[in-house]
Amino acid sequence: MLFKNILGHDDTKRALIRSVQNNHVAHAQLFDGPVGGAGIALAWAFATFVNCEDRQPDDACGRCASCSKMRKLVHPDVYHIFPLPRTPKEGEDLLGELTPKWRAFLEEHPYRALPEWLAYINATGNQQGIIPIKESRSIVSKLSLKAFEGEFKIMLFWQPELLNVQAANALLKILEEPPEKTLFLIVSSQSDKLLTTIISRTQRVAIRAFTDEEVTQFLAQKGIDERRARQIAYLCEGNLAEAMRLTNETEDDRHAWFAQWMRKCYSRDFVSLVKLADEFDTLGKEKQKGIFDYTLNLFRDLFLWQNGVEELLRLQDEELSFVQKFGKAVNPGAIELLIQEITDGYYHLERNARAKVLFLDISLTAARTMRG
Amino acid sequence: MADNFVVSARKYRPVTFDTVVGQSHITTTLKNAIRTNHLAQAFLFCGPRGVGKTTNARILAKTINCQSLTEDVEPCGECESCVAFQNNASFNVHELDAASNNSVDDIRNLIDQVRYPPQTGKYKIYIIDEVHMLSSAAFNAFLKTLEEPPSYAIFILATTEKHKILPTILSRCQIFDFNRIQPRDIADHIEQIAKKEGIKTEREALELIAQKADGGLRDALSMFDLNVTFSTDNTVRYKEVLENLHILDYDYYFRLTDALLAGNLSETLLIFNEVLKKGFDGHLFVIGMLEHFRNLLVSKDSATVQLLEVSETAKNKYLDQSTRASLSFLLSALSVGGQCDINYKASKQQRLHVELCLMKMAKLTEVLDLEALAADEKKKPNVGAGPGGVPLASAQNDNNGSSPNAQGNPVNRTDANASSLPTTAEPTITYQNAPNGKGLPLGKLRSTVNLSTSITDTPAPTQVSKPVEVALDALPEKDLPVTMEALKEVWAEFSRMREQNGGAVSEQIMLNRDFLFENMTIELVLDNLHQETLLNEIKPTLLGYLRRKLQNRQIQLSHQIAQSDGKRNPYTPQEKFNVLAERNPALFDLQRLLGLEVDF
Ligand SMILES: [Zn+2]
Ligand SMILES: [Zn+2]
């Protein structure tokens, strides 16, 4: 992974490169950004740059022995810590066994979310992912070794928020006073869950979410057509893990569903609404939630449009014209009320309320209130 | 990268008592004890992270082993022992990190070492960091040694969590409580380090770092390092510190509050968007906003303004804005924002959640101004006073006095103004519940603030965000005469708007009734306490609407509740329907959905 393979984030890249050039690399850095963001990729590119044998002004060379090992994440001076499905048994090196899978997982693409990883290693439903104390201890022993080839021993540590308090505490000392020529690159997507003692011992590298344009560009590189790419960008909110997941789904018909639903509410076509509720009931729960998600997104756009901040709309094409037409017709008070109803409905849906009743209830409220 | 960069917290870890920052009460005591040879054998160092506990433990160890102490009771730095310490090679100091070595075995190893006296020097020092992390078995194993230590052994226990230490341990230690370090001391300290490193700094930048470090020097230094790393010209500037530390500039909140006060919703939404685009978390934004309102509140009173822990420039900005934000605005905004904070995590569309909250806040000024007008009009010269509780309450007593009671109406005469006033304690709750002063069952819990969006404005999209002046402009300089006919028309208009905006069924029933109008006061007879609650909820909005539409600021509204024995039985079909629908609101929906007429 080279810096140039990562879309955007020029400021962050420059700052990281400069820290090497100025000989001011902090030994423990927290790459802190949203799920499905550039955290892992940037840490990986940074590690590559640090150990590159022929550093260029703005990136690693990508050709030297170190770089080619880094490309496959098999560099002997790079250690990986990532969530395990369970606590290893006595004498079992679960981390070592899973490391090849971890490399393969990241080589596919490095914009990842925890559930994906757990699915990738076939974790069972109730395995949440943990980083046991034994793993934290093993870091200490590995790092006391001298670097084999590169200048630095590098610990790539994903999801430190899964450390329990005991394991996290075991890391404090080494984070504060690490062996020489050692770098901790810690990648977190929920830094609010980290122990403050860990945060205070690391230098934070703030990473923003990908923009809609970057998501679209990323998907285009993966061969997704532009229209679909934009649709996905709208839904995934800068999360490339989610974007990749959505590419595997069949063409999304949420907008069609939503538009049809709203038209029937608006025209108070109760017979059709009852039929629609039956249809809604037969959809899978994920699909149902997906429709509610979409509805909330669209209602937000309606809300923005009605309040004169059209520039914040992220929609295009038929969805945009839908919002513009619908926004003129629908009473603003109703939008606010319906947002609340959908939010409540979502809550009940997750708790196994009867989808049909829920849907009909929202439909009736919509029909009653929409016309201004 | 020839030399490994060493973080400042390590590079500049103090090595003498004199260089310890902000803990002089401790260093003085320790030096005195050494000078007078009254050193305890067990110490407990308590205090937050990064304030110097381990550092002081190491300095103490070094000092008491120094072979030629300076007159000032500082280690010489040159003798064999000092050199060994400086090279981390002293056999006389043992550090145990209890966080990662908390088993009985770990502590036994340590106890074993205690048995052997030092080969050189006078003392062996055992530093046990994060001592509260020791398992209870380890604790017990250790207790014996702590009770009867050999004369050459000194134990220094350090902890961030004193309350977790067993009383038996506490009673055997001399306890030192370390302070959070004052922001000024931190800033001064960093300034010195910066000078040594040849780094230029802005004082404001250092103060910002000190403030964010919350009393921890290590945190502060780590932040300083980060800023040096990211600097292109070895200069640490305020603007860049904001960026690098991911701190939201308080200017955003000043701008936001100005926009909210002006009722400019679209501006507030744009500001929020800008903040998110910079990568800030929506929840942190809400929390920061509440903090900002709190600071404005505190600035309203010269007695509390001292509580602001900000620079002089910032303080003046708060003072300035606080004169523009009324007390009731701040309290209501805090309440609306508080709700937003509480429900943030559970929200499915968190961004929208915040945006709706901003909408409610942007409406506040308008709603509060109308209320203030309602209560204020009899006291016209009352310009300076905000719509706070006290002056309004008295205005409203005036109303009571002058309200005609000609018919000698018997019952439950209430002046609803009293209850619709925001009190200072819990504004939004007051909003919703104040009418319930008498312990009535609550109406549907709903904020008047957000309802007013759709009511006081015509539903055209862009008009929602019009500045509040427009609403005030609409109120005339001189009051125009009001006819009963016009009043009824405007009243009906209001009622229709409520209905279209999804107003409650029982609210419609409450609104759709005849009333008297005398001496500019509308006399409404309600059926029950529930209706009273509903009326009180919408009264400010209703009165505001009537006054604007009829161009008369004098219009008052009072109501009474019909005595049950005097209550008419439902007579017309509409009345019968109303009675039924009130018992079962679904009827009303049914009627509306199916477009039924009430005529049977
Ligand atoms: Zn290379
Ligand atoms: Zn000495």
Enumerate the β-bridge partners of residue B427.
none
Pick the CATH number of B183-245 from 1.10.8.60, 3.30.930.10, 3.40.630.30, 3.40.50.300: 1.10.8.60
Confidence of residue B511 (pLDDT cuts 50, 70, 90): confident
Q: Which of A340-354, B428-442, B514-528 has the lowest mean pLDDT?
A: B428-442
Task: Please say if the pLDDT value at position B67 is more than 50.
Answer: yes
Residues 428-457, chain B: which have Cβ within 8 Å of A?
Answer: 450-451, 453-455
Task: Note the pLDDT of residue B537.
Answer: 78
Going by C-alpha positions, the residue among A60, A56, A81 that lies closest to residue A153 is A81
Q: Which of B3, B6, B7 to mutate to test the interface with A (most CBs of A within 10 A)?
A: B7
Going by C-alpha positions, the residue among A123, A126, A124 that lies closest to residue A105 is A123
Task: Note the pLDDT of residue B231.
Answer: 80
Residue-wise pLDDT tens digits, A271-294? 999 999 999 999 888 788 888 988
Mean pLDDT across the stretch B420-448? 36
Task: Note the pLDDT of residue B407.
Answer: 41
Task: Note the pLDDT of residue B258.
Answer: 95
- The CATH class, in words, for B8-177 is alpha beta
- The CATH class, in words, for B250-371 is mainly alpha
State what percent of residues in chain B have pLDDT above 70: 76
Task: Please say if the pLDDT value at position B209 is more than 70.
Answer: yes
- Establish if B36 touches chain A: CB-CB under 8 angstroms: no
Ligand nearest to the Cα of B78, by number: 2
A181 shares its domain with A315: no
More confident residue, B190 or A308: B190
Q: Which of A21, A190, A203, A300 to mutate to test the interface with B (most CBs of B within 10 A)?
A: A203
Mean pLDDT across the stretch B420-449? 36
Residue-wise pLDDT tens digits, A170-206? 777 778 777 778 899 999 988 777 777 777 778 888 8
Q: Which of B230, B340, B354, B446 to mutate to test the interface with A (most CBs of A within 10 A)?
A: B230
Task: Note the pLDDT of residue A251.
Answer: 61
Please give the distance, rounded to the nearest whole angstrom, from the Cα atom of residue A140 to the centre of ligand 1. Answer: 27
Task: Please say if the pLDDT value at position B94 is more than 70.
Answer: yes
Residue with tokens 């590098």: A154
Residues of A in contact with B216 (CB under 8 A): 200
- Establish if B349 touches chain A: CB-CB under 8 angstroms: yes
Mean pLDDT across the stretch B14-40? 90
Using the beta-carbon criterion (under 8 Å), do B218 and A339 form an inter-chain contact?
Answer: no
Mean pLDDT across the stretch B358-386? 70
Judging by DSSP bridges, how do beta strands B515-518 and B124-129 pair with one another? unpaired
Q: CB pairs under 8 A, 24+ apart, for A313-322?
A: A314/A212, A314/A233, A314/A234, A315/A234, A316/A230, A317/A227, A318/A255, A319/A234, A319/A255, A322/A255, A322/A259, A322/A298
Please give the distance, rounded to the nearest whole angstrom, from the Cα atom of residue A69 to the centre of ligand 1. Answer: 9
d(CA B594, nearest CA chain A) in Å: 9
Mean pLDDT across the stretch B374-402? 44
Using the beta-carbon criterion (under 8 Å), do B269 and A304 form an inter-chain contact?
Answer: yes
Task: Please say if the pLDDT value at position B237 is more than 80.
Answer: yes
Please give the distance, rounded to the nearest whole angstrom, from the Cα atom of residue A49 to the centre of ligand 1. Answer: 7
Q: Which of A326-335, B108-117, B136-145, B403-412 has the lowest mean pLDDT?
A: B403-412
Residue-wise pLDDT tens digits, B245-278? 778 888 999 999 999 999 999 999 999 998 887 7
Confidence of residue B585 (pLDDT cuts 50, 70, 90): low
Task: List the end-to-end C-alpha distance of chain B, in Å, as a whole number.
Answer: 93
A137, burial (CB in 10 Å: exposed 0-12, middle 13-18, buried 19+): middle
CA B29 – CA A97 distance, rounded (Å): 55
Confidence of residue B402 (pLDDT cuts 50, 70, 90): very low
Going by C-alpha positions, the residue among B421, B529, B545 that lies closest to residue B495 is B545
Mean pLDDT across the stretch B513-527? 83
Name the most confidently modeled range: A129-138, B17-26, B98-107. B17-26
Using the beta-carbon criterion (under 8 Å), do A300 and B464 form an inter-chain contact?
Answer: no
Q: Are B98 and B134 in contact (CB under 8 A)?
A: yes
- Torsion angle of alpha carbons B562, B565, B566, B571, nearest 10°? 100
**Domain layout of chain B by residue ranges:** 8-177, 183-245, 250-371, 484-561
Measured at the CA of B364, the angle between CA A366 and CA B252, to 5 degrees, comes to: 105
Task: Note the pLDDT of residue A191.
Answer: 79
Task: Please say if the pLDDT value at position B599 is more than 60.
Answer: no
A63 shares its domain with A198: yes
Residues of A in contact with B226 (CB under 8 A): 26, 203-204
Phi and psi, residue B316, nearest 5°: -65, -35
Amino acid at B223: M
Task: Please say if the pLDDT value at position B280 is more than 90.
Answer: no
A286 shares its domain with A365: yes
CA B174 – CA B29 distance, rounded (Å): 11
Task: Note the pLDDT of residue A39.
Answer: 95
Q: Tell me, rounded to whole angstroms, the distance of Cα B264 from its chain centroid.
A: 23
Nearest CA in chain B to A269: B593
CB-side neighbour CA atoms (13 Å) of A38? 27
Chain mean pLDDT for chain B:
77
d(CA A228, nearest CA chain B) in Å: 23
d(CA B4, nearest CA chain A) in Å: 6
A286 shares its domain with A238: no
Mean pLDDT across the stretch B182-188? 90
A200 shares its domain with A273: no
State what percent of residues in chain B have pLDDT above 90: 23
Phi and psi, residue B279, nearest 5°: 95, 15
Task: Please say if the pLDDT value at position A169 is more than 70.
Answer: yes
Residue-wise pLDDT tens digits, B541-566? 888 888 888 888 788 888 887 765 44
Give the number of beta-carbon pairs within 8 Å between A and B: 179
Using the beta-carbon criterion (under 8 Å), do A180 and B1 form an inter-chain contact?
Answer: no
Using the beta-carbon criterion (under 8 Å), do A26 and B50 form an inter-chain contact?
Answer: no
- Helix orientation angle between A254-266 and A355-369, rounded to the nearest 10 degrees: 50
A193 shares its domain with A218: no
Residue with tokens 């009303």: B588
Q: Are B67 and B81 in contact (CB under 8 A)?
A: yes
Specify the number of domains making up chain A: 3
Contacts of B249 (CB under 8 A, 6+ apart): B242
More confident residue, B44 or B498: B44
- The residue range of the domain holding A219 is 214-247
Mean pLDDT across the stretch B500-521? 79
Task: Please say if the pLDDT value at position A215 is more than 90.
Answer: yes
Enumerate the β-bridge partners of residue A262.
none
Mean pLDDT across the stretch B71-92? 86
What is the CATH code for B484-561?
3.30.300
Using the beta-carbon criterion (under 8 Å), do A200 and B218 form an inter-chain contact?
Answer: yes
SS (H, E, C) chain A: CCHHHCCCCHHHHHHHHHHHHCCCCCCEEEEECCCCCCHHHHHHHHHHHHHCCCCCCCCCCCCCHHHHHHHCCCCCCEEEECCECCCCCCCCCHHHHHHHHHHHHHHHCCCCCHHHHHHHCCCCCCCCCEECHHHHHHHHHHHCCCCCCCCCEEEEEECHHHECHHHHHHHHHHHHCCCCCEEEEEEECCHHHCCHHHHCCCEEEECCCCCHHHHHHHHHHCCCCHHHHHHHHHHHCCCHHHHHHHHCCCCCCHHHHHHHHHHHHHCCCHHHHHHHHHHHHHCCHHHHHHHHHHHHHHHHHHHHHHCCCHHHCCCCHHHHHHHHHHHHHECHHHHHHHHHHHHHHHHHHHCCCCHHHHHHHHHHHHHHHCEC
Chain mean pLDDT for chain A:
87
CA A122 – CA B256 distance, rounded (Å): 48
Domain CATH code at residue A203? 3.40.50.300
Q: What token pair was written down for B301?
A: 């009173």
Ligand nearest to the Cα of B75, by number: 2
Task: Note the pLDDT of residue B148.
Answer: 87
Task: Note the pLDDT of residue B386.
Answer: 40
A78 shares its domain with A194: yes
Task: Note the pLDDT of residue B356.
Answer: 92
A26 shares its domain with A136: yes
Residue-wise pLDDT tens digits, A312-363? 887 777 788 888 888 888 888 888 889 888 988 888 888 888 889 999 999 9
Residues of A in contact with B246 (CB under 8 A): 204, 206
Residue-wise pLDDT tens digits, A118-147? 999 988 777 788 887 777 677 667 776 666
Task: Note the pLDDT of residue A309.
Answer: 86
Name the most confidently modeled range: A223-232, B92-101, B465-474. A223-232
CA B428 – CA B413 distance, rounded (Å): 25
A110 shares its domain with A145: yes
Mean pLDDT across the stretch B341-359? 89
- Establish if B52 touches chain A: CB-CB under 8 angstroms: no
Task: Note the pLDDT of residue B421.
Answer: 38
Task: Please say if the pLDDT value at position B580 is more than 80.
Answer: no
Neighbour count for residue A268 (Cβ, 10 Å): 19
Using the beta-carbon criterion (under 8 Å), do B500 and A369 form an inter-chain contact?
Answer: yes
Task: Please say if the pLDDT value at position B398 is more than 50.
Answer: no
Enumerate the β-bridge partners of residue B154.
B125
Phi and psi, residue B146, nearest 5°: -70, -30
Task: Note the pLDDT of residue B126.
Answer: 92
Phi and psi, residue A61, nearest 5°: -75, -35
Residue-wise pLDDT tens digits, B211-228? 888 888 988 998 898 888
Mean pLDDT across the stretch B493-507? 76
Residues of A in contact with B450 (CB under 8 A): 336
Q: What token pair was written down for B466?
A: 């019009």
Using the beta-carbon criterion (under 8 Å), do B352 and A296 form an inter-chain contact?
Answer: yes
- Torsion angle of alpha carbons B449, B454, B457, B463, nearest 10°? 100
